[in-house]
């Protein structure tokens, strides 16, 4: 097989752009993990729920702003319900129990969303999906570049929210130490609702961006699984980690796919490569690139 | 009145160490076995035996395997179905490539191959635990699925990647009818369940529990973490591998790698959550629950005369599943097995309150 360096450079850029979108999903995980120590397995279905609600409302002829507002309202309601029904009774349980509870939550949201809106795939038109431009021999898709810009804006917005606002500071306090935060008068339950709402909004953005690319359908929920290796690489508690991890996963899986095809003639490597990468990574640096050092020997 | 150990004296060490120290428990077990062996095959129709009892037993076996790993050793795994697939495909390849290999030997060898793969993917457990480990086992799930679908050798170059089980013969008898397949499955499951029950009360099971409860303390009292954890992975994968082989050979007859996808892994994880983590009985209760619940929901939907479309029903099933998981984690984190235990404790006191 002839070796074509441009193919690899193209794959690298495609991968990086896809990686930004993985980062968007991973961001939701990091937010919730930081504030409540819960590993939220349902993040992927939250992406599905937000995107499906939004698209269905649009298809019913709603105004785009109104549909967005109603979707966000639905996400706030969801956050309230989760805090009241799932988190509050399970407070102080082992993280593994909470993790399993979010697997249950995952199924409730998935089933509930598809019961309301049906399980047919929808398409989400965000401009021309095939519009692209070239630099030299490389192609870039416009929508993917927009997605990258949106992700960058979102991260900047979150950074400001966390560093400068009152609620953002409270969130960081809760993340540092639940008890200390409680004792200085930060209402833990409100914070949880806020953080799940923010994670929901991140899921909404991710859903719209991914939905524009893949169509709004069930496979959106599976993105959550791709976000797991991103988190392992970047660290569970780091927002920059989620971004960098996403880029690494996106780029490496595309390159690995191409390389495996060139060398061995097999395809489909990208489906499992990130997990193997994460597994190997875990052996050497369990806390991820930017995560908090876990002082715990197993 | 009916259920108490009062008056049952133990006069030998053997009595004292028996698996079920209370006579009523032993009788209940014998009665359950007798029902399973004699009554179920006579009154059960082919549909009930072939489509409900056989999968129930196989699920119970896989749940048992996962329970040894997750419930007893405290190592969370999302790769159960992957290990089942290894068992199924290893057994298949052994059967078609080695002529005249007895079925039971093939299943055991298939289980051992699954165990070896399990150990390989269990290696990260030496450094990580909790949901970090879940990600590592996810790697097992996806990698195994990919290997089996990509390389034609494993499916004997079948165009659609589906394997068809060769007929199973033992001692000149062909296991073809639903009843015979049910009885064969039952005997394998009973033997393995008994082995598991014994395992968890011997030194190996106790060292698993020690690691689950506090690994540092376990290490201090001299339990070798490396060996014990890898052994947990090996034995658990062996059980899952055998379950996978039974799934392919005795339940469906034909199977493709996609039959062992991530959802299957989750399903088995739910069985042990609902049934009870760290309980042999719980694996069976959880499997029964998850196998019967969809049938129940479908029948309940059928009462409305088909007014509810099928996709709504299947989504409703998801909602019920999820809610039950959350419900169980909140109300009774130790599952159905714990409820059974509470009932037994109440029975011992009954009819007097104290």
The ipTM value here is 0.76
Instruction: Tell me how many residue pairs between chain A and chain B have CB atoms under 8 A apart.
Output: 133
Shortest distance, CA A298 to any CA of chain B (angstroms) = 5
For residue A296, pLDDT beyond 60:
no
Interface-testing mutation among B147, B233, B318, B323, with chain A (most A C-beta atoms within 10 A): B318
Q: Does B317 touch chain A (CB under 8 A)?
A: yes
- Residue A267, preceding peptide bond in cis (omega within 30° of 0): no
Instruction: Please judge whether B325 and A112 are an interchain contact, meaning their C-beta atoms are less than 8 angstroms apart.
Output: no
Question: Which pLDDT score is estimated for B125?
Answer: 78
Cβ pair A102, A40 in contact under 8 A:
yes
Chain-centre distance for alpha carbon B261: 16
Nearest by CB to A101, from B125, B132, B326: name it.
B326
Residue B159 to residue B145: CA distance in whole angstroms: 17
Q: pLDDT tens, A19-54?
A: 887 888 888 888 888 777 778 888 888 888 888 888
Cα angle B301, B282, B68 (rounded to 5 degrees) comes to 125
Q: Which of B258, B247, B271 lies closest to B110 in space, CA to CA?
A: B247
Shortest distance, CA A19 to any CA of chain B (angstroms) = 18
Average pLDDT over residues A262-283: 77
Q: Where are the domains of chain B?
A: 46-349
Nearest by CB to B318, from A111, A225, A283: name it.
A111
Residues of B in Cβ contact (< 8 Å) with A111: 315-322
Interface-testing mutation among A52, A104, A113, A293, with chain B (most B C-beta atoms within 10 A): A104
At residue B164, φ and ψ (nearest 5 deg) are -110, 130
Instruction: Please judge whether A272 and B322 are an interchain contact, meaning their C-beta atoms are less than 8 angstroms apart.
Output: no
Residues of B in Cβ contact (< 8 Å) with A266: 150-151
Cβ pair A30, A231 in contact under 8 A:
yes
Instruction: Please judge whether B146 and A269 are an interchain contact, meaning their C-beta atoms are less than 8 angstroms apart.
Output: yes
CA dihedral angle for residue A187, residue A189, residue A193, residue A198, rounded to 10 degrees? 50
For residue A298, pLDDT beyond 50:
no
Here the tokens at position A42 are 């349902």
Question: Which pLDDT score is estimated for B256?
Answer: 81
Question: Which pLDDT score is estimated for A272?
Answer: 81
Residues of B in Cβ contact (< 8 Å) with A298: 125-129, 215, 225
Q: Does B161 touch chain A (CB under 8 A)?
A: no
Residues of A in Cβ contact (< 8 Å) with B262: 225
Cβ partners under 8 Å of residue A124, min gap 6: A51, A54, A55, A58, A208, A211, A212, A215, A216
Mean pLDDT, chain A, rounded, equals: 79
B110-113: Cβ within 8 A, 24+ apart: B110/B86, B110/B241, B110/B242, B110/B244, B110/B245, B111/B87, B111/B237, B111/B238, B111/B239, B111/B241, B111/B242, B111/B245, B112/B238, B112/B241, B113/B86, B113/B87, B113/B241
Chain-centre distance for alpha carbon A190: 23
Name the closest residue on chain B to residue A101, using Cα atoms: B326
With the C-alpha atoms ordered A220, A221, A226, A228, is the resulting torsion angle positive or negative?
positive
Residues of B in Cβ contact (< 8 Å) with A118: 311
Q: pLDDT tens, A62-71?
A: 888 888 888 8
Q: Does B70 touch chain A (CB under 8 A)?
A: no
Q: Which of B139, B154, B119 lies closest to B256 in space, CA to CA?
A: B154
Question: Which pLDDT score is estimated for B112?
Answer: 95
Question: Which pLDDT score is estimated for B60?
Answer: 94
User: What is the SS3 assignment for chain B?
Assistant: CCCCCCCCCCCCHHHHCCCCCCHHHHHHHHHHHHHHHHHHHHHCCHHHHHHHHHHHHHHHHHHHHHHHHHHHCCCCCCCHHHHHHHHHHHHHHHHHHCCCCCHHHHHHHHHHHHHHHHHHHHHHHHCCCCHHHHHHHHHHHHHHHHHHHHCHHHHCCCCCCCEECCCCEECCEECCCHHHHHHHHHHHHHHHHHHHHHHHCCHHHHHHHHHHHCHHHHHHCCCCHHHHHHHHHHHHHHHHHHHHHHHHHHHHCEECHHHHCHHHHHHHHHHHHHHCCCCHHHHHHHHHHHHHHHHHHHHHHHCCCCCCCHHHHHHHHHHHHHHHHHHHHHHCCCHHHHHHHHHHHHHHHCCCCC
CATH 1.20.1260 fits B46-349, yes or no: no
Residues of B in Cβ contact (< 8 Å) with A278: 135-136, 139
Chain-centre distance for alpha carbon B159: 31
- pLDDT tens per residue across all 354 residues of chain B: 567 777 778 888 887 777 777 777 788 888 888 888 888 888 878 787 888 888 999 999 999 999 999 889 988 888 899 999 999 989 888 888 887 788 888 899 999 999 999 998 888 777 776 667 877 788 888 888 888 887 777 777 776 667 777 777 777 677 777 888 888 899 999 999 999 999 998 999 999 999 988 888 988 999 998 899 999 999 999 999 999 999 988 888 888 888 888 888 988 988 888 888 888 999 999 999 888 888 887 777 777 766 667 777 778 888 887 888 888 888 877 788 888 888 888 887 777 766
CATH architecture under which domain A5-284 falls = Orthogonal Bundle (1.10)
Nearest by CB to A298, from B127, B146, B325: name it.
B127
- Which residue matches tokens 């409270």? A170
Of the pLDDT bands very low, low, confident and very high (cuts 50, 70, 90), residue A297 is very low
Q: What DSSP line would sit under chain A, residue for residue?
A: ----HHHHHHHHHHHHHHHHHHHHHHHHHHHHHHHH----TTHHHHHHHHHHHHHHHHHTT--HHHHHHHHHHHHHHHHHHHIIIIITTTTT--HHHHHHHHHHHHHHHHHHHHHHH-S--B----S-TT-EEEETTEEEEHHHHHHHHHHHHHHHHHHHHHHHSHHHHHHHHHHH-HHHHHHTT--HHHHHHHHHHHHHHHHHHHHHHHHHHH-BSGGGGGHHHHHHHHHHHH-TT-HHHHHHHHHHHHHHHHHHHHHHHHHH----GGGTHHHHHHHHHHHH-TTTTTSPPP----
Cβ partners under 8 Å of residue B171, min gap 6: none
Cβ partners under 8 Å of residue A184, min gap 6: A173
Here the tokens at position B171 are 């001692």
Question: Which pLDDT score is estimated for B207?
Answer: 93
Q: Which of residues 2-61 of B touch A (CB under 8 A)?
A: none
Question: Which pLDDT score is estimated for B270?
Answer: 84
Instruction: Please judge whether A283 and B123 are an interchain contact, meaning their C-beta atoms are less than 8 angstroms apart.
Output: yes
Average pLDDT over residues A203-214: 80
Average pLDDT over residues A54-79: 86
Average pLDDT over residues A220-229: 77
Instruction: Please judge whether A119 and B329 are an interchain contact, meaning their C-beta atoms are less than 8 angstroms apart.
Output: no
Residues of B in Cβ contact (< 8 Å) with A267: 150
Nearest by CB to A282, from B76, B128, B324: name it.
B128
Name the closest residue on chain B to residue A120, using Cα atoms: B311
Of the pLDDT bands very low, low, confident and very high (cuts 50, 70, 90), residue A131 is low
Task: Give chain B's radius of gyration (CA, Å).
Answer: 21
| Dihedral-angle region of residue B253 (phi above 0 means left; psi in -120 to 50 means alpha; beta otherwise) | left
Residues of A in Cβ contact (< 8 Å) with B323: 104, 108
Calculate the alpha carbon distances from B207 to A49, B71, B232, B235 in Å. Answer: 44, 13, 10, 14
For residue A293, pLDDT beyond 70:
no
Q: Does B333 touch chain A (CB under 8 A)?
A: yes
Q: Parallel, antiparallel, or unpaired: how do β-strands B254-255 and B169-170 relate?
A: unpaired
Cβ pair B93, B109 in contact under 8 A:
no
Cβ pair A254, A12 in contact under 8 A:
yes
């Amino acid at each position: 097989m002839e070796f074509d360096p441009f193919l690899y450079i193209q794959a690298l850029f495609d991968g990086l752009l896809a990686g930004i979108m993985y980062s968007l999903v991973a961001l939701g995980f990091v937010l919730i993990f930081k504030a409540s120590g819960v590993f939220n397995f349902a993040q992927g279905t939250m992406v599905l729920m937000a995107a499906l609600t939004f698209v269905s409302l649009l298809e019913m002829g709603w105004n785009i702003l109104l549909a967005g507002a109603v979707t966000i309202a639905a996400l706030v309601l969801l956050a309230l319900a989760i805090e009241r029904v799932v988190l509050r009774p399970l407070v102080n349980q082992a993280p593994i129990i909470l993790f399993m509870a979010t697997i249950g939550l995952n199924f409730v949201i998935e089933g509930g969303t598809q019961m309301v809106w049906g399980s047919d795939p929808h398409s989400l038109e965000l401009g021309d999906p095939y519009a692209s431009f070239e630099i030299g021999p490389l192609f870039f898709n416009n929508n993917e570049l927009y997605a990258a810009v949106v992700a960058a804006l979102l991260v900047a917005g979150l950074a400001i929210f966390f560093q400068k606002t009152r609620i953002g500071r409270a969130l960081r306090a809760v993340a540092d130490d639940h008890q200390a935060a409680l004792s200085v008068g930060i209402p833990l339950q409100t914070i949880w609702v806020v953080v799940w709402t923010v994670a929901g909004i991140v899921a909404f953005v991710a859903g719209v961006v991914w939905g524009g690319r893949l169509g709004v359908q069930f496979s959106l929920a599976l993105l959550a699984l791709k976000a797991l290796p991103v988190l392992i690489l970047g660290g569970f508690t780091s927002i920059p980690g989620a971004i960098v991890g996403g880029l690494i996963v996106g780029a490496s899986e595309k390159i690995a796919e191409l390389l495996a095809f060139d060398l061995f003639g097999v395809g489909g490597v990208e489906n499992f490569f990130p997990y193997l990468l994460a597994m190997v990574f875990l052996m050497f640096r369990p806390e991820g690139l930017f995560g908090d050092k876990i002082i715990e020997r197993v | 009145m009916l259920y108490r150990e009062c008056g049952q004296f133990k006069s030998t060490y053997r009595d004292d160490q028996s698996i079920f120290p209370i006579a009523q428990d032993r009788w209940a077990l014998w009665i359950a076995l007798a029902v399973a062996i004699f009554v179920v095959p006579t009154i059960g129709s082919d549909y009930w035996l072939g489509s409900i009892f056989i999968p129930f037993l196989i699920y119970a076996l896989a749940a048992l395997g996962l329970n040894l790993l997750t419930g007893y050793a405290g190592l969370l795994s999302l790769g159960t179905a992957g290990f089942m697939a290894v068992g199924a495909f290893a057994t298949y390849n052994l059967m078609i490539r080695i002529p005249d290999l007895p079925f039971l030997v093939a299943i055991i060898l298939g289980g051992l191959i699954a165990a070896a793969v399990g150990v390989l993917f269990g290696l990260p457990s030496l450094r990580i635990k909790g949901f970090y480990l879940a990600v590592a086992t996810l790697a097992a799930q996806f990698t195994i699925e990919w290997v089996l679908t990509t390389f034609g050798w494993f499916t004997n170059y079948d165009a659609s990647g589906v394997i068809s089980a060769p007929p199973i013969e033992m001692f000149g008898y062909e296991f073809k009818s639903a009843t015979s397949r049910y009885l064969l499955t039952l005997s394998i499951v009973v033997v393995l369940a008994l082995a598991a029950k014994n395992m968890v009360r011997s030194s190996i099971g106790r060292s698993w529990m020690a690691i689950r409860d506090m690994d540092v303390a376990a290490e201090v009292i001299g339990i070798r973490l490396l060996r014990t954890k890898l052994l947990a992975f090996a034995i658990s994968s062996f059980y899952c591998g055998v379950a996978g082989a039974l799934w392919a050979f005795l339940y469906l007859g034909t199977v493709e790698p996609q039959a062992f996808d991530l959802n299957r892994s989750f399903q088995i994880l739910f069985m042990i959550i609902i049934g009870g983590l760290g309980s042999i009985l719980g694996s069976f209760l959880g499997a029964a629950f998850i196998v019967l619940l969809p049938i129940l929901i479908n029948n309940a939907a059928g009462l409305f005369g088909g007014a509810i479309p099928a996709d709504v029903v299947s989504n409703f099933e998801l909602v019920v599943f999820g809610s039950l998981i959350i419900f169980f984690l909140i109300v009774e984190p130790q599952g159905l097995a714990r409820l059974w235990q509470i009932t037994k404790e109440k029975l011992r006191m009954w009819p007097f309150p104290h």
